[in-house]
Structure 1
Amino acid sequence: MQDPVVGRENADATDVPGATDSSVGGVPTSGQDAPQGTAQPDGATDGGDTAAPDGAQTIAGEARAAESAAAASAANGAAADGAVDPELERVRAELAERTADLQRVSAEFTNYRRRTERERESTVAGAKASVAGELLTVLDDVERAQNHGDLTGPFKVVADRLSETLQRAGLEPFGAEGDAFDPSVHEAVAHETSSEVSGPTVTTVMRRGYRFGDRVLRAAMVGVTDSDGSAPASPAPTEPADAGTS
């Protein structure tokens, strides 16, 4: 027969939720966690009901302070973006001034280089023209000897080479019979009229003219023949006869 006291203790052990064989009177032994419903926060005391609201207020205050700082930073950044830095403006103005100076100096140098090039070419051409002008009388003698048939043999070879060399350098003779009279390059020493020409025409060349490039070294000495106004008019075209006439 079972002891009544022992039976009552076993009944009490089975009525406690979560009790095991290692439980003694419903209290867990070492290694067993306390039930969740009986756990309290760390540091909780009898006055713990006022600790939680103080922490929430602190966090909210920090959040508001952070938002205010962010707004102020954004406002300062926007103001900085719209503001004009005096030092930057000074550098920009100086850069624009130096750029304008560089462009002006570059244009002046380009003009100077072109001008000096033209002057150099003009000086060289003037020197060549001066030398060629001194040889014009020699060329006149050579031409007269050639017209009289006296220029033969080695002298003719030398005369031809001299003329070719001067022409390659830029010397150009002008003035030939049949040319239209041009007072800028022709010097008229004789004048006559004829019905065979329609306007002033060079009919005689006493001395040839020469030009070097665009410079006239010497005008051609010529005789000019002008129209006497009696040149026959061109015949009028005849009208074709009517097809019906026989």
Structure 2
Amino acid sequence: MSEGNSEQEPITIVDNRKIDPQDRSLHGDQTVQAGEIREPAAQPAAGPGPEAGNGSEPGIGTDDGAEILAETITRELAERTADLQRLTAEYANYRRRVERDRQATIDAAKAAVVSELLGVLDDLDRARAHGDLESGPLKSVADKLTDALVKQGLQEFGAEGEPFDPTLHEAVQHEGSGHDPVIGLVMRKGYRFGDRVLRHALVGVTDGVADLVEEEASDADAHTNNQ
């Protein structure tokens, strides 16, 4: 045989399995030597997990949680409603009190102004009693002033024949001794503004009709007895 035939061709062995290039390495739970075949690590078995996007913790009842949440919301809503009703009532009372105080201030201011004009009304009454206001420009002025004050709430009282009222009238003279006194003479009119008495009336008090009838009956009985 020739020299070329005596030399054999080299044999090449191809192994497709992966060889760990390191001398010793830790792969998973296996330790391999250099040149040893590295087996793929075992994958953990896939078990049932929580549902994606569920958001609920395991072990908590969904129905119980919803019931507790509903009770909490109902209780808080009732408390807020009660607070709102209380605040509304307080605000309504505040508005009424402010309006009442404002009206009282206005009435007091009007009464103060009208009180300053009572002397003018007295002069007009005396002029009217003397016949000075029967005609002419002064009568027109007096009527306009009186009408304006009446529209603002001024009222006069104290006329002959009215029952005597000690809260409105001031008696300066008294004739008779009856229990039903009436006004027999008006010396000065009284005025009030709404419920406020600006001035008491100066009057003379006499016996009422009932007292006069009783007195006449007593005189008649006395006359009959004398006969």
TM-score (norm 1): 0.57
The CA RMSD over aligned residues, in Å, is 2.5
CA displacement at 1:206 relative to structure 2: 0.1
Does the CA contact (< 8 Å) of 1:208 and 1:221 recur in 2?
yes
Q: Output one character per residue of 1:61-89: Cα deviation in whole Å (capped at 9) or x when no partner.
A: xxxxxxxxxxxxxxxxxx86567643333
Q: Output one character per residue of 1:88-112: Cα deviation in whole Å (capped at 9) or x when no partner.
A: 3322222111111000001111111
Comparing 108-117 with 164-173, greater Cα deviation is found at: 108-117
In structure 1, runs of 5+ residues without a counterpart are 1-78, 236-246
Give the greater-gyration-radius structure (CA).
Answer: 1
1:181 to 128, 141, 164: 164
1:161 to 144, 150, 155: 144
Paired position in structure 2 for 1:117: 99
CA displacement at 1:119 relative to structure 2: 1.6
Task: Please state if 1:213 is matched with 2:197.
Answer: no
CA distance 1:87–1:81, shift in 2 (3 Å): closer
Q: Percent identity?
A: 57
Residue-pair matches, total: 155
Paired position in structure 2 for 1:19: none
CA displacement at 1:123 relative to structure 2: 1.7
Q: Output one character per residue of 1:39-69: Cα deviation in whole Å (capped at 9) or x when no partner.
A: xxxxxxxxxxxxxxxxxxxxxxxxxxxxxxx
Task: Give the aligned residue type for 1:144.
Answer: R
Paired position in structure 1 for 2:154: 171
Paired position in structure 2 for 1:104: 86
Q: Output one character per residue of 1:150-182: Cα deviation in whole Å (capped at 9) or x when no partner.
A: 334211111111001101111011110000100
Structure with greater proportional helix content:
1
Whole-angstrom distance in 2 between the partners of 1:112 and 1:210: 33
TM-score (norm 2): 0.62
For 2:192, what is the secondary structure of its paired residue?
strand
Q: How does 1:1-246 map to 2 (within 5 A)?
A: 81=63, 85-151=67-133, 152-193=135-176, 199-226=180-207, 227=211, 231-233=215-217
Task: Give the aligned residue type for 1:99.
Answer: T
Whole-angstrom distance in 2 between the partners of 1:154 and 1:229: 47
In structure 2, runs of 5+ residues without a counterpart are 1-60, 221-227
Whole-angstrom distance in 1 between the partners of 2:94 and 2:66: 41
